[in-house]
């Protein structure tokens, strides 16, 4: 049972942005702190910006900041917005070839379990999981 790496990285970026509210967050800082590939970081930042969790300030002195207060950024909402794959089992995904897809009754319990998973995350906001700036290595 895994979340996609994109969702994992999205949480890391939001935690870093929310834990260092006095500075604009730069892509290079995210890369240095988490030792992640530039392409991956850019892709996740684009997703978080398009979903309205981050705001980008352009220019040489630009960077990223949270688009809302940390206690208004809900962890369930973040997961729904950035997780690219809610296909728990094959029949919930493209390319499904399972022979009993049409009559199968497993999808209903699995969807209920997935809703319970997200509803639990709905009870938390980014404010609940912020850290202190000194917790991040390589932070200038």
**Strand pairing partners for 125?**
74
Instruction: With H, G, I as helix, E, B as strand and everything else as coil, classify residue 54.
Output: strand
Enter the tokens of residue 25: 């967050």
Contact 98, 136 (CB under 8 A): no
**Helical (H) or strand (E) element with 130:** none
Minimum distance from CB of 36 to a copy of itself (Å)? 10
Residue range at the interface with a copy of itself (CB under 8 A); choices 20-28, 46-54, 63-71, 96-104: 96-104
Residue 84 per-residue DSSP state = -
Minimum distance from CB of 58 to a copy of itself (Å)? 27
Burial class (CB in 10 A: 0-12, 13-18, 19+), 44: buried
Work out whether 128 is an interface residue with a copy of itself (CB under 8 A).
yes
Site size with a copy of itself, rule: CB under 8 A: 52
| Positions in 35-54 near a copy of itself (CB under 8 A) | 35
Instruction: With H, G, I as helix, E, B as strand and everything else as coil, classify residue 126.
Output: helix
Residue range at the interface with a copy of itself (CB under 8 A); choices 6-14, 38-46, 49-57, 64-72: 6-14
Work out whether 136 is an interface residue with a copy of itself (CB under 8 A).
yes
Residues near a copy of itself (CB under 8 A) are 1-5, 7-8, 11-12, 15, 33-35, 75, 83, 85-90, 97-100, 103-106, 109-110, 112-121, 123-124, 128-132, 135-138
């Amino acid at each position: 049972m895994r979340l996609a790496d994109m969702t994992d990285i999205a949480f890391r970026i939001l935690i870093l942005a929310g834990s260092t509210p006095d500075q604009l967050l730069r892509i290079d800082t995210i890369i240095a702190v988490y030792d992640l590939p530039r392409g991956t970081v850019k892709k996740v930042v684009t997703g978080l910006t398009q979903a309205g969790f981050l705001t980008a300030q352009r220019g040489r002195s630009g960077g990223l900041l949270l688009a809302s207060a940390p206690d208004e950024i809900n962890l369930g909402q973040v997961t729904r917005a950035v997780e690219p794959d809610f296909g728990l089992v094959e029949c919930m995904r493209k390319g499904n070839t399972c022979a009993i897809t049409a009559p199968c009754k497993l999808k209903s319990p699995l969807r209920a379990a997935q809703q319970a998973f997200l509803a639990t995350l709905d009870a938390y906001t980014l404010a609940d999981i912020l850290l202190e700036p000194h917790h991040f290595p390589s932070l200038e």
